[in-house]
Chains A and B, each alone.
Chain A
Amino acid sequence: MNDSKLGRLNNNTTTAMDATLKVGAKKSKSGFSEFWRRYRKNKLAVIGLVVVAVYILVAIFADLFFPYDFATQNQISNAFAKPLTRADVDYNDQTVSHLYVLGADNFGRDILGRIIHGARVSMIIGFSTIAFACFVGSALGAIAGYYGGKIESIIMGATDILLAIPNILFALAIVAALGPSFQNLLLAIGITSIPAFVRLMRASVLTVKDQEFIEASHAIGARDFRIIVQHIVPNCMAPIIVQATLGIAQSILSATSLSFLGLGIQPPAPEWGNMLSDARSYLSFAPHTLFFPGIAIMTVILAYNLIGDGLRDALDPKLKR
Chain B
Amino acid sequence: MSDNSLLSINNLATHYVTDEAVIHAVNGINLELKTGESLGLVGESGAGKSTTAYSIMGILPKLTGRIVRGEIVFQGKDLTKTSEEQMRSIRGSQISMIFQDPMTSLNPILPVGDQIAEVLEVHGTRNRKEAVEKAGDMLEMVGIPSERMHEYPHQFSGGMKQRVIIAIALACNPQLLIADEPTTALDVTIQAQVLKMIKDLRTRLGTSLILISHNLSVVAQLCQNVAIMYAGHIVEYGPLRDVFSNPFHPYTEGLLNCIPRIDVDKKRLSPIKGMMPDPSLIYEGCIFKPRCPYAEDICTTMTPGISEVEGRKVMCLMYQGLIPKKMSFDKVGGGTND
Question: Which residues in A have some Cβ–Cβ distance to B below 8 Å?
Answer: 1-17, 19-20, 23, 26, 321
Not counting A5-B22, A8-B284, a sample of 15 additional A-B residue pairs whose C-beta atoms are within 8 angstroms of each other reads: A1-B303, A4-B21, A6-B22, A6-B280, A10-B300, A11-B283, A11-B284, A11-B290, A15-B275, A15-B291, A16-B274, A16-B278, A16-B291, A17-B274, A26-B20
Q: Bound complex: CA of A17 vs CA of B278, how far in Å? A: 8
Q: Bound complex: CA of A321 vs CA of B290, how far in Å? A: 32
CB closest chain-B residue, reference A22? B281
Q: Are B18 and A11 in contact (CB under 8 A)?
A: no
Contact mask for chain B residues 268-289; partner A; CB cutoff 8 A; 1 contact, 0 none = 0000001111101111111001
By a CB distance below 8 angstroms, the chain A residues around B275 are 15-17
Most-contacted residue by chain A among B281, B286, B303 (CB, 10 A): B281
User: Shortest distance in angstroms between A18's beta carbon and chain B's nearest beta carbon?
Assistant: 9
By a CB distance below 8 angstroms, the chain A residues around B134 are none
By a CB distance below 8 angstroms, the chain A residues around B303 are 1
Query: B90 an interface residue at 8 Å Cβ cutoff?
Result: no
By a CB distance below 8 angstroms, the chain A residues around B18 are 321
By a CB distance below 8 angstroms, the chain B residues around A4 are 21-22, 24, 280-282
Query: B144 an interface residue at 8 Å Cβ cutoff?
Result: no
Query: B29 an interface residue at 8 Å Cβ cutoff?
Result: no
Q: Bound complex: CA of A16 vs CA of B285, how far in Å? A: 13
Query: B310 an interface residue at 8 Å Cβ cutoff?
Result: no
By a CB distance below 8 angstroms, the chain A residues around B21 are 4-6
CB closest chain-A residue, reference B24? A4
Q: Bound complex: CA of A19 vs CA of B280, how far in Å? A: 11
B interface, over-half SS? loop
Most-contacted residue by chain A among B275, B277, B286 (CB, 10 A): B277
**Given that A1-B303, A2-B68, A4-B24 are contacting pairs, would A13 and B290 also be in contact in the complex, using a CB cutoff of 8 Å?**
yes
Query: B263 an interface residue at 8 Å Cβ cutoff?
Result: no
Q: Are B281 and A9 in contact (CB under 8 A)?
A: yes
Q: Are A14 and B68 in contact (CB under 8 A)?
A: no
A interface, over-half SS? loop
User: Shortest distance in angstroms between A225's beta carbon and chain B's nearest beta carbon?
Assistant: 39
User: Shortest distance in angstroms between A229's beta carbon and chain B's nearest beta carbon?
Assistant: 37
Query: B19 an interface residue at 8 Å Cβ cutoff?
Result: yes
By a CB distance below 8 angstroms, the chain B residues around A1 are 282, 303
Q: Bound complex: CA of A26 vs CA of B285, how far in Å? A: 25
A-B contacts, 9 of them at CB < 8 A, read: A4-B22, A4-B24, A6-B21, A7-B282, A9-B282, A11-B286, A11-B300, A16-B291, A19-B278
Q: Are A11 and B285 in contact (CB under 8 A)?
A: yes
Question: Which of B284, B285, B290 is the one whose CB lies under 8 Å from A14?
Answer: B290
User: Shortest distance in angstroms between A320's beta carbon and chain B's nearest beta carbon?
Assistant: 9
CB closest chain-A residue, reference B285? A11
User: Shortest distance in angstroms between A318's beta carbon and chain B's nearest beta carbon?
Assistant: 15
CB closest chain-A residue, reference B281? A9
User: Shortest distance in angstroms between B172's beta carbon and chain A's nearest beta carbon?
Assistant: 34
By a CB distance below 8 angstroms, the chain A residues around B20 are 26
User: Shortest distance in angstroms between B188's beta carbon and chain A's nearest beta carbon?
Assistant: 26
User: Shortest distance in angstroms between B100's beta carbon and chain A's nearest beta carbon?
Assistant: 19
By a CB distance below 8 angstroms, the chain A residues around B300 are 10-12
Q: Bound complex: CA of A199 vs CA of B24, how far in Å? A: 44
Question: Which of B24, B284, B291 is the one whose CB lies under 8 Å from A9?
Answer: B284
User: Shortest distance in angstroms between A38's beta carbon and chain B's nearest beta carbon?
Assistant: 12
Q: Bound complex: CA of A242 vs CA of B281, how far in Å? A: 37
**Given that A5-B22, A6-B21, A321-B19 are contacting pairs, would A15 and B290 also be in contact in the complex, using a CB cutoff of 8 Å?**
yes
Q: Are A9 and B283 in contact (CB under 8 A)?
A: yes
Q: Are B274 and A15 in contact (CB under 8 A)?
A: yes
By a CB distance below 8 angstroms, the chain A residues around B68 are 2
By a CB distance below 8 angstroms, the chain A residues around B289 are 11
CB closest chain-B residue, reference A17? B275
By a CB distance below 8 angstroms, the chain A residues around B277 are 16, 19-20
CB-CB contacts below 8 Å: B9-28 with A: 13, 18-22, 24
Nearest 10 interchain pairs by C-beta: A16-B277, A20-B278, A11-B285, A4-B282, A11-B284, A11-B300, A11-B283, A15-B274, A16-B290, A4-B22
Q: Bound complex: CA of A6 vs CA of B291, how far in Å? A: 23
Q: Bound complex: CA of A5 vs CA of B278, how far in Å? A: 14
Q: Bound complex: CA of A126 vs CA of B136, how far in Å? A: 61
Q: Bound complex: CA of A26 vs CA of B301, how far in Å? A: 27
Q: Bound complex: CA of A72 vs CA of B101, how far in Å? A: 67
By a CB distance below 8 angstroms, the chain B residues around A17 are 274-275
By a CB distance below 8 angstroms, the chain B residues around A9 are 281-284
CB closest chain-A residue, reference B287? A11
User: Shortest distance in angstroms between B207's beta carbon and chain A's nearest beta carbon?
Assistant: 35
CB closest chain-B residue, reference A21? B278
User: Shortest distance in angstroms between A80's beta carbon and chain B's nearest beta carbon?
Assistant: 53
CB closest chain-A residue, reference B300? A11
By a CB distance below 8 angstroms, the chain B residues around A11 are 283-286, 289-290, 300-301
Q: Bound complex: CA of A167 vs CA of B336, how far in Å? A: 73
By a CB distance below 8 angstroms, the chain A residues around B274 are 15-17
User: Shortest distance in angstroms between B329's beta carbon and chain A's nearest beta carbon?
Assistant: 23
Q: Bound complex: CA of A10 vs CA of B282, how far in Å? A: 9
Q: Bound complex: CA of A19 vs CA of B24, how far in Å? A: 16
By a CB distance below 8 angstroms, the chain A residues around B283 are 9, 11, 19
User: Shortest distance in angstroms between A13's beta carbon and chain B's nearest beta carbon?
Assistant: 7
